[in-house]
Structure 1
Amino acid sequence: MNRLKPVRIVLTASLLSFVLFSANVSAATYKVVKNDTLYKISKLFKTPVTTIKKTNNLKSDSIKPGQKLTVSSKIYTVKQGDTLNNIAKTNGISLASLRKANCKWNNTLAVGQKLILPGVKSTTTASNTTASTVSYKAAVSARAVESASKSAVIPYTKAEKDLLARLITAEATGQPYNAMVAIGGVVINRVQSKDWPDTITDVIYDVPGGFYQFTPVKNGFINKPASSIAIKAAGEALLGADPSKGAMFYFDDSSTNKWLWSKPLTARYGKMVFVK
């Protein structure tokens, strides 16, 4: 697990400007940053690479930092009471995608502020938006029904349980069972906290300020199949078992990270250390 920087900074390297063409049609001007590729940008905005190339008159897949690309995307105007989480949910996108598209690593919003909604097309009509919102609410209800039937402490889907189990597999294979359940507990503690995203998926894939919170997400080990014991541990954590005792972070005891070691210790199992 990677440490969270004490202060979430805004990365000035990635700047987004907005051009409003009409009430229903808008575009985002995205400034390419280091390590960007057309493929990554196409995945973020859910737009084919060929479309991006055609829109920007690109003759090859080569792009460079500082280059500006126009990508079709809906623009949202922040209203009173809005939060990043609510905006992401209402529009059916992940919090991580919303943050990345807008280089928005803190939670501060201002009424009237413009935000790019990556993957939400600018031609979306009011009726389609309403349908999307209804679909999202139905999905939330389905999540609640599934978790309630199992007395879970948070709503979740089968895919999210598998994702949690894969994280546990990558982080704690060979460690005591309590350590595995405790890792699930840390993720759930974050979901329940107002300081973190509010779904298992968004917590695990959270990259505030460009800092990965979980090493397996960064190195790709999160994509390996979950072990049967990790699936069992994930299930126990979802039912409320928390050997981490309220921890928000965990790390291997070989870590030399002074920031992590300075935090209040809640539990230790094998090589795994849990802190608040």
Structure 2
Amino acid sequence: MKKLKKMIIGSVLSLSLFGFHSHADAATNYQVKSGDTFWKIASRFGVTVGTLKNTNDRTSNMLYAGESISIPASTISFADKDLMARLVQAEAKGESYAGKVAVATVILNRMDHPDFPNTVKGVIYQIDGGYYAFTPVKNGTIYNPAGSEAKRAVNEALALRGVGKGSIYFYNPKTAVSSWIFSRPVTTKIGNHVFAR
């Protein structure tokens, strides 16, 4: 019984420290604090700024400390956010925060693109012609836990969803082995990664 109690306490503690708001998976109210912006709130809860504003019938960016706003249900589950964060951790370890956000954005852009699966799991675990979409799935590093920065990057990418240059690929030009990837139009370069369409 004592062991079970420790497991339950440990599970609750790990969920509260995880970095994702599991209550964002269901609509909730939030009391605006001084210094809050739609961007900060959207990033905190892992929802898009547009969806947050639409849910609250807002066209301006004005928020007032003390007012209550509705946080829409997240379209990405807690488990999918964790999977994304683990991929970001494995793919962008040692890269800047912006590089981590860009890797998470690629996952979301693929979900929204007709040439890729439309789920987080489908995108991350995709195998095409015997080739894994992401190296961490092949080498098993996808199963390592994500750090807090990778988790924050996922929430920021969710807040940015639909905004950006439409990157659906990224690669390290020093280690890439497919000549095909070099033919893709480059959208940006961040750290050791080149992002492309």
TM-score (norm 2): 0.61
- 1:47-73 Cα distance to aligned partner (Å, 9 max, x none): xxxxxxxxxxxxxxxxxxxxxxxxxxx
1:146 aligned residue: 25
Structure with more of its chain in helix, by fraction: 2
Choose from 89, 103, 118 the match for 1:169.
89
2:106–2:169 CA contact under 8 A, matched in 1: yes
> Superposition pairs for residues 32-111 of structure 1, below 5 Å?
none
- Kindly indicate whether the alpha-carbon contact (under 8 Å) linking 1:186 and 1:244 is maintained by their aligned counterparts in 2: no
* 2:172 partner letter: D
Q: Secondary structure at the match of 1:266?
A: strand
SS at match of 1:189: helix
1:239 aligns with 2:159: yes
Aligned Cα RMSD in Å?
2.4
How far apart are the structure 2 equivalents of 1:243 and 1:173? 24
- Give the equivalent residue in structure 2 for 1:266: 187
Q: Superposition pairs for residues 12-31 of structure 1, below 5 Å?
A: none
Counterpart residue type for residue 268 of structure 1: K
Q: Cα distance 1:183–1:203, how it changes in 2: closer, same or farther (>3 A)?
A: same
Greater RCO structure (CA 8 Å; 6+ sep)? 2
Percent identity between matched residues is 39
Q: Deviations over 1:54-111 (max 9, x none)?
A: xxxxxxxxxxxxxxxxxxxxxxxxxxxxxxxxxxxxxxxxxxxxxxxxxxxxxxxxxx
Aligned to 2:110: 190
Q: Secondary structure at the match of 1:273?
A: strand
**Alpha-carbon contact 2:108-2:161 (below 8 Å) kept:** no
Give, in angstroms, the shift of residue 256 of structure 1.
4.4
Secondary structure in structure 2 of the residue aligned to 1:230:
helix
Which blocks of at least 5 consecutive residues in structure 1 are unaligned? Answer: 1-144
Q: Which runs of 5+ in 2 are unaligned?
A: 1-23, 29-44, 52-73
1:230 and 2:150 correspond: yes
Number of corresponding residues: 133
